[in-house]
Structure formats: C-alpha cells, structure tokens
Amino acid sequence: MSGERELGALVERLLADPQYRDHPLREALLLVYQHSTDQLNHLERITRISDGFQSMTREQHSTLSERYDQQLRRLRKILRISDRYQVMMADLNDALRIASMHDPLTGIGNRRLITERLQEESDRARRNGKSYALVILDADNFKQVNDTWGHNIGDRVLVEISRAMKGAIRECDLCGRWGGEEFLLLLPETSLDDARIVVERVHEAVCAVSMGIGAEVLSVTASFGVTEHLIGEHYMQTIGRADAALLDAKSGGRNRCVFARGG
C-alpha cells in the first residue's frame, strides 16, 4: 500500500515539474493517472457502500433477532399469566362449588348437597342392594329460644347442635341443615336397626349441648324421626316417612326418637 502511495506521489511530481510540460508522454501519463485515480475513487465508493450494506444487514439482523427474542419473552409471560389464571379460576370454581353446597352459618352441608347425596345413595342402593337410613331431627322449642334470647343466641344454638352432630356420626355419614332448626342425617348402607346406635349417640350429644348466658345456662333437646330407604322408591318418599316419624316424636312429648319402617 505504501508503494502505491509513493508511485502516486512520483507521478504527481513529474506532472507538476515544468521541465516535462512539453514532453510528448506527459499527456498520456496524465490520462493514465486520472483514469487510475477515478478507478480508485470508484472502488472506494463501492467498498464504502458494501461496508455500509453489510453493517446495515448486521444491524437489521440483530434488530430482528432482538424483536424475536422480545416477542418470545412476551409470549412466555402471557403463557405464565394464562396458567396462573386458569389455576386461579379452577380454585375459584372449587371454592364456589363448596360454598354453594354448605350452610353459611353452621358450615355443614345444605339442602342442595343433601339432595345430591340422597340421589347418589338411592342409585347405589338400587345397584348393590344395600339401603341407607335417613334421620330428620328438630331442635325442640327453638322459637322460644329466639323469642327469649334473640336470634344471635339462636344461631349459636344451631352451630353447637351442628358440632355435636358432626362429632357423633361416623366418617361415612352426612349431616346437613335441612332448613331452619331442622337437620338431616344420611347413614349410607345402614339398616333401621343398625341406625339406632348412631341415632342414640347423636341424641345424647345434642342433649349435652349447653350454653352459658350471663348467670343462666341454656340447654338443648331435639326430636328425631328415623326411617330406612326402600330400594326403588324415590328419596322424597323416604324423607316424607322420616318427617312423619319426626311429627310423631314431637307430638309424643318431644326429646324422643321415633323409628318408622316402610312398606
């Protein structure tokens, strides 16, 4: 490269020297030099354009790559958010379903859960031939409790009755609030005779409920109507028979258990 610069400098000196102004080869040397200079300038422009294009291409490629990575990161974030949202919605649906199946005051099953389980147990009994026992119990003189002590105390009584029931039944049994001060027990694959043991235990647990209100003590009793589901009948017929037994218990003096056989 230094040799080319030296050659260029030599040609320029020769062309500028006055003694060679009339030399017959001076014109030819000038044309060759100008042509070489033009070619060199052209090559330099091409080189600059090429370098610029390559730089632009690299920059564009880098920009596209960065944009791709950015979009990829954004999509991954959206997917993570979507996964969390789906988990959250599933948890919310589970919570809503549980809430819709349980009594908000006592926390035990409500009428909806009870009717679903009654349908399931009736279908199961039809398939395997093993029936279930059904119990309806009612807190005695509950209206008097509300009138005397107020509804807040009445609600506390219902909560304590629910706790006593839950502590006295078996793991496979279901207790639920049927409505007001009325509760229902579902004893799967249990005959009327076998239900007596569970019912007596629940009766004792409910009657043991007592609440201190100031200097006074509030005690609780309950009446029970018990029956056995007849395989093939609708569960509402079973409920009707248990409810009739409950009425007999209340009309017979309350704080009693009446067992009714079907058929």
pLDDT, one tens digit per residue, over 20-47 is 566 665 566 566 666 666 666 666 676 6
What's the pLDDT score for residue 17? 64
What's the pLDDT score for residue 35? 64
> Residue 109 pLDDT more than 60?
yes
Q: Which residues pair with 226 in a beta bridge?
A: 135, 259
Q: Give CA–CA dist 43/179, Å, rounded.
A: 98
**At 96, is the pLDDT very low, low, confident or very high (cuts 50, 70, 90)?**
low
Phi, psi of 179 (to 5 degrees): 155, 135
Arithmetic mean of pLDDT, 76-99: 72
> Residue 13 pLDDT more than 70?
no
Instruction: Identify whether 216 is a catalytic site residue.
Output: no
> Residue 70 pLDDT more than 80?
no
What's the pLDDT score for residue 10? 62
Q: Is 202 helix (H, G, I), strand (E, B) or coil?
A: helix
> Residue 111 pLDDT more than 60?
yes
Q: In this predicted model, which residue has the larger pLDDT, 76 or 161?
A: 161
Q: In this predicted model, which residue has the larger pLDDT, 244 or 46?
A: 244
| Whether 149 contacts 140, CB under 8 Å | no
Q: Using the 8-state DSSP alphabet, how is residue 230 labeled?
A: P
Q: Which of 3-7, 63-67, 117-121 is predicted least confidently?
A: 3-7
What's the pLDDT score for residue 256? 96
Number of helices (H) and strands (E) in the chain: give both, helices first: 7, 7
* Annotated catalytic residue within 181, 189, 204, 228: 181
What's the pLDDT score for residue 213? 87
> Residue 48 pLDDT more than 60?
yes
Q: Which of 69-78, 121-130, 161-170, 244-253 is predicted least confidently?
A: 69-78
Arithmetic mean of pLDDT, 122-140: 96
| Whether 246 contacts 254, CB under 8 Å | no
pLDDT, one tens digit per residue, over 165-199 is 999 999 999 999 999 999 999 999 999 999 999 99
| Whether 227 contacts 238, CB under 8 Å | yes
**At 101, is the pLDDT very low, low, confident or very high (cuts 50, 70, 90)?**
confident
Q: In this predicted model, which residue has the larger pLDDT, 94 or 228?
A: 228
Phi, psi of 108 (to 5 degrees): -85, 175
Q: Give CA–CA dist 121/93, Å, rounded.
A: 25
Residue with tokens 């003694």: 19
What's the pLDDT score for residue 64? 58
